[in-house]
Amino acid sequence: MLILTNILYIVFALLAIVLITVVLLQEGKGGGFTDALGAAGQQTFGVKASGIHKFTMWVAIGFLGSALAITVLNGKQGSSSVLDGPGVESALPE
């Protein structure tokens, strides 16, 4: 179970990086990172860029799915809290 959790953390981090990059590459109403790429960026991620929008959607779904899976797996490993442990009074030496 620990190996699966570690793999999910790696997938989660990679999807976060990809999602950030793809969102920054999309053309917004006020320009954006694609303006820095010049004409090549406009042609690559222009108005007819429905493919990048679908890709963004699938990456976002994967990101949210991995986040939920990590939450579920961490919940099954044990739900302990700092408040469940001994109080400050009992931890102090007498």
- 10-to-23, 55, 61, 71, 78 alpha-carbon distances in Å: 20, 20, 16, 14, 21
Residue 22: is its pLDDT beyond 80? yes
Residue 88 lies in a domain: no
Global pTM reads: 0.61
Which residue, 9, 25, 1, is CA-closest to 63? 9
Residue 85 domain flag: no
Structural domain containing residue 54 = 2-75
Q: Is 87 part of a structural domain of the chain?
A: no
- Report pLDDT digits (tens) over 34-53: 555 555 555 555 555 678 88
Residue 80 lies in a domain: no
Give the residue-averaged pLDDT of 78-89: 61
**Taking all residues of the chain, what is their mean pLDDT, rounded to a whole number?**
77
pLDDT tops 70 at residue 91: no
Domains: count for the chain: 1
